[in-house]
């Protein structure tokens, strides 16, 4: 083991690691050493900070949700509005960091996987900004249900490649991207979008996303003079949650809540709740963690109304924090998420992404049971514009179909 | 230790063929017929792939075969049974199980190895179970069960990492001829050929070379360089398009090299 490897956590307890075909190892080692070299480099961090402030719009606001707080009648609820970052979600934080690193490593092309499309959009955006050629792999099912983002990615100059393997969702997009990378290692950097996959991605993505928690910490101390009692975030792969939670992990007295996709219910294939039922540890997509799988080790189909949470695995650091009872995970059904989506929109004038609506739904469950003097921060990881084709079909079906038919009939 | 891999590669004349079947694709009966056919054409080394939902190193052909086998309900138990039946019928053939880490991990690594060994297999190929993971140094345990842990490397594997792998490998060393995923190619990469040539200087282990071998000419090119030519996707493509007869003709042509 090289001295360099020992300086970044390759494992979180028994999780994480680098379970990849040998031919990917040199690229991952190059990335590991590159990240280690630049992560604390003053020039690199200054450039990233400048981009965060002047391109991305950071710091994003920490907003006191007065109406929601009053209606729920429990603890004070603050919302960390990552949806106000450029491209509408927290994904841009990581994409900017990795694009800067890719440039430093001399790469001219980037590839990315995407589920809901927000990471693909963020990758296409940074590729346009830095003059990098970009390909985005996206499950065929997700291409269908997230077309606004597909359109935006193409507009930004990225090639969107529909993945028709397996479940045709995020998991298969990850596989397809890794395979493309294996064949194009020399000039291509893989902007992996969540805090998972083979080392060093879980630690690198976490570090880039930790800007969320660092800002929230400063902001809540300024506003309330003390740290929050509760942090709530949705968990698909887990990048927005680990980004919010990580800077608070050393603090005593904070409860961390992860909202998973409970989908249509607990039956196999109806949800993406890795910690619901009997969590099973496995090895797939380059890392060890909890995966939804059958007794033979085959990954199972998943479902969520939210494409971004529709994923069979979960980041290894979150798995380790689950085992230590640091994070309390709970499944949120599609119905609960849609209800939370409507309530936040009506009460606060904020349309959350369907992913973030899961976090809001968990806050709605928790807040009324908590004392009024306690503080909760909910990560609104993205805004709901991208979900309009899902939410309109769910909540305003007839009018929406009439609108679409009219567009098709009269469109040229 | 001597097992069927050692026997197949001892006193060999010319290059050996190593072929690949995805258990359950198109079905287990055809797998058995295909394996018999391979053996009748002198193939002594056969990989039986246990299908997995997320086969990271495999290209489109083998990936589709994996999914089709899973759709039919094929489980690791079926794969052990296939190997057990065929290894009794064909005692000279060295069978190896090839799959991804989560399959043995779900069963328990030790249990998996015991079952593989009991079914008559001689080796294991787990391309995503890296030797430097905390639970990945399974080579010793595999050998205790009479199985060779077949290490897979690529032309980018070098330096101390290659030395570490060589110190753990036994039976044979499997190198890809290109940095990529499985799949029949138009030709053999010269850089891959050079890599195998250099590898021969570093190890006494027999070397199997694969990825992209799709014609008897490719096998001929490797003769005298590698000890074993691995043919995977091309046989599945042939079988799909033209049936077992075409596979038979192809193997016969390769055997004449």
pLDDT at B46 over 80: yes
Residue contact A282–B59, C-beta within 8 A: no
Taking the alpha carbons of B105, B108, B113, B116 in that order, is the dihedral positive or negative?
negative
For residue B254, CA distances in Å to A88, A154, B42 come to 58, 47, 10
Considering only CB atoms, B105 lies closest to which of A23, A26, A283, namely A283
Among A281, A283, A298, beta carbon nearest to B70 = A298
Which whole number is the average pLDDT over A69-89? Answer: 98
Tokens linked to B24: 């359950």
A1 vs B: CB within 8 A: yes
Chain A residues near residue B129 by CB distance under 8 angstroms: 19, 283
Q: For residue A4, is pLDDT > 50? A: no
Mean pLDDT rounded to a whole number for chain A: 94
Distance from CA of B8 to the nearest CA of A (A): 26
B6 is catalytic: no
Residues B102/B133, Cβ–Cβ less than 8 Å: no
Report pLDDT digits (tens) over A81-104.
999 999 999 999 999 999 999 999
Distance of CA A312 to the CA centre of its chain: 14
Report yes or no: A20 at the B interface, CB cutoff 8 Å.
yes
Residue of chain B minimizing CA distance to A26: B156
pLDDT tens-digit map of A225-249: 999 999 999 999 999 999 999 999 9
Number of Cβ within 10 Å of residue A351's Cβ equals: 20
Q: Is A291 on the interface with B (CB under 8 A)?
A: yes
Nearest-CA distance from B68 to chain A in Å? 10
The average pLDDT across B210-231 equals 90
Q: What is the pLDDT of residue A5?
A: 43
Q: Which one has a higher pLDDT value, B51 or B140?
A: B51
Q: What is the tens place of the pLDDT at every residue in B110-153?
A: 999 999 999 999 999 999 998 888 666 788 889 999 999 999 99
Query: Best residue in A10, A22, A24 to probe B by mutation, most B CBs within 10 Å?
Result: A22
Specify which residues A380 forms β-bridges with.
A81
Average pLDDT over residues B98-113: 96
Residues of A assigned a catalytic role:
91, 113, 381
pLDDT band at A166 (very low <50, low <70, confident <90, very high): confident
- Of the two residues B110 and B191, the one the predictor is more confident about is B110
CA-based nearest distance B43→chain A, Å: 26
pLDDT of residue B136: 61
Examine the pLDDT at A321 and tell me if it is beyond 90. yes
- The whole-angstrom separation of Cα A208 and Cα A223 is 24
pTM: 0.95
**Could you tell me how many residues make up chain B?**
257
Q: Please check whether residue B100 is in contact with residue B49, taking contact to mean a CB–CB distance below 8 angstroms.
A: no
Query: Binning pLDDT at 50, 70 and 90, where does residue B257 land?
Result: low
Examine the pLDDT at B185 and tell me if it is beyond 80. no
- Note whether A25 and B130 are within 8 A (CB): yes
| Secondary structure of residue B198 in the 3-state scheme | helix
How confident is residue B184, by pLDDT bands cut at 50, 70 and 90?
Answer: low
Q: Is B103's CB within 8 Å of A11's CB?
A: no
User: Is a pLDDT exceeding 60 seen at residue A3?
Assistant: no
Which residue of chain A has the CA closest to B64?
Answer: A165
Q: Give the best residue of B102, B156, B158, B162 to mutate against chain A (max A CB count within 10 A).
A: B102
Whether B128 sits inside 8 A of A17 (CB atoms) is: no
A116 falls in which pLDDT band (50, 70, 90)?
confident
- Prior bond to A59 cis, omega within 30? yes
Q: What pLDDT does A1 receive?
A: 35
Which of B67, B130, B180 is closest, CB to CB, to A166? B67
Q: Cβ separation of B154 and A21 shorter than 8 Å? A: yes
pLDDT at A146 > cutoff 90: no
pLDDT score of A402 more than 70: yes
Q: What is the dihedral of CA A122, A128, A131, A137, to 10 degrees?
A: 50
User: Is the Cβ–Cβ distance between A80 and A380 less than 8 Å?
Assistant: yes
Task: Look at residue B72 and tell me whether its pLDDT is greater than 60.
Answer: yes
The single residue listed with the structure tokens 């059904």 is A333
**The two three-digit tokens of residue B131, written as one number:** 């030797």
């Amino acid at each position: 083991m090289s001295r360099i490897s020992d300086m970044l956590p390759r494992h979180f307890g028994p999780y994480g690691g680098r379970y990849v075909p040998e031919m990917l190892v040199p690229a991952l080692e190059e990335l590991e050493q590159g990240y280690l070299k630049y992560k604390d480099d003053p020039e690199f961090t200054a450039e990233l900070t400048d981009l965060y402030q002047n391109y991305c719009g950071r710091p994003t606001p920490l907003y006191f949700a007065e109406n929601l707080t009053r209606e729920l009648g429990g603890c004070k609820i603050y919302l960390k509005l990552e949806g106000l970052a450029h491209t509408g979600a927290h994904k841009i934080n990581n994409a900017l960091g990795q694009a800067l690193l890719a440039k430093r490593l001399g790469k001219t092309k980037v590839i990315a996987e995407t589920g809901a499309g927000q990471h693909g959009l963020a990758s296409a955006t940074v590729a346009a900004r830095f003059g990098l050629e970009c390909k985005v792999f996206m499950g065929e099912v997700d291409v269908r249900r997230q077309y606004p983002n597909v359109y935006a990615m193409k507009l930004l100059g990225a090639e969107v490649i529909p993945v028709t393997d397996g479940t045709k969702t995020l998991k298969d997009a990850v596989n397809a991207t890794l395979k493309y990378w294996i064949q194009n290692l020399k000039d291509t950097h893989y902007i992996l979008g969540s805090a998972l996959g083979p080392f060093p991605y879980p630690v690198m993505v976490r570090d880039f996303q930790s800007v969320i928690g660092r800002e929230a910490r400063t902001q809540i101390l300024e506003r309330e003079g003390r740290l929050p009692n509760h942090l709530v975030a949705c968990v698909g792969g887990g990048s927005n949650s680990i980004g919010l939670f990580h800077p608070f992990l050393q603090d005593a007295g904070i409860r961390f809540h992860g909202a998973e996709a409970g989908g249509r219910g607990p039956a196999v294939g109806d949800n993406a709740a890795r910690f619901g039922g009997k969590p099973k540890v496995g090895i797939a997509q380059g890392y060890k963690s909890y995966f939804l799988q059958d007794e033979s080790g085959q990954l199972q189909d998943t479902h969520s109304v939210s494409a971004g949470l529709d994923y069979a695995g979960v980041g290894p650091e979150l798995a380790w924090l689950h085992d230590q009872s640091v994070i309390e995970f709970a499944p949120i059904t599609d119905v609960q998420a849609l209800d939370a989506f409507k309530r936040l929109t009506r009460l606060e004038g904020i349309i959350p992404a369907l992913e973030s609506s899961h976090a809001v739904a968990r806050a709605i469950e928790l807040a009324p049971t908590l004392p009024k003097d306690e503080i909760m921060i909910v990560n609104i990881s993205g805004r709901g514009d991208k979900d309009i084709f899902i939410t309109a079909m769910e909540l305003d079906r007839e009018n929406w179909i009439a609108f679409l038919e009219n567009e098709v009939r009269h469109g040229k | 230790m001597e097992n069927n891999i050692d026997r197949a590669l001892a006193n060999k004349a010319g290059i050996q063929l190593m072929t690949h079947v995805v258990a359950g694709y198109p079905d287990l009966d055809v797998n058995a017929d295909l394996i018999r056919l391979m053996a009748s054409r002198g193939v002594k080394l056969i990989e039986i792939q246990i299908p997995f939902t997320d086969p990271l190193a495999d290209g489109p052909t083998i990936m589709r075969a994996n999914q089709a086998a899973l759709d039919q309900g094929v489980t690791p138990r079926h794969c052990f049974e296939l190997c057990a039946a065929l290894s009794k019928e064909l005692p000279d053939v060295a069978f190896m199980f090839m799959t991804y880490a989560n399959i043995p991990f779900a069963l328990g690594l030790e249990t998996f190895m015991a079952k593989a060994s009991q079914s008559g297999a001689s080796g294991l190929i787990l391309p995503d179970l890296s030797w430097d993971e905390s639970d990945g140094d399974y080579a010793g345990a595999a050998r205790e069960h009479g199985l060779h842990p077949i290490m897979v490397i690529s032309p980018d594997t070098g330096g101390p990492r290659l030395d570490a792998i060589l110190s753990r490998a036994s039976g044979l060393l499997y190198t890809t001829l290109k940095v990529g995923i499985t799949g029949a190619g138009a030709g053999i990469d010269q850089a891959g050929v050079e890599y195998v040539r250099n590898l021969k200087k570093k190890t006494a282990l027999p070397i199997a070379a694969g990825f992209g071998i799709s014609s008897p000419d490719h096998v001929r090119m490797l003769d005298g360089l590698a000890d074993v030519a691995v043919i995977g996707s091309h046989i599945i493509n042939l079988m799909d398009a033209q049936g077992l007869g075409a596979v038979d003709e192809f193997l016969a042509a390769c055997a004449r090299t």
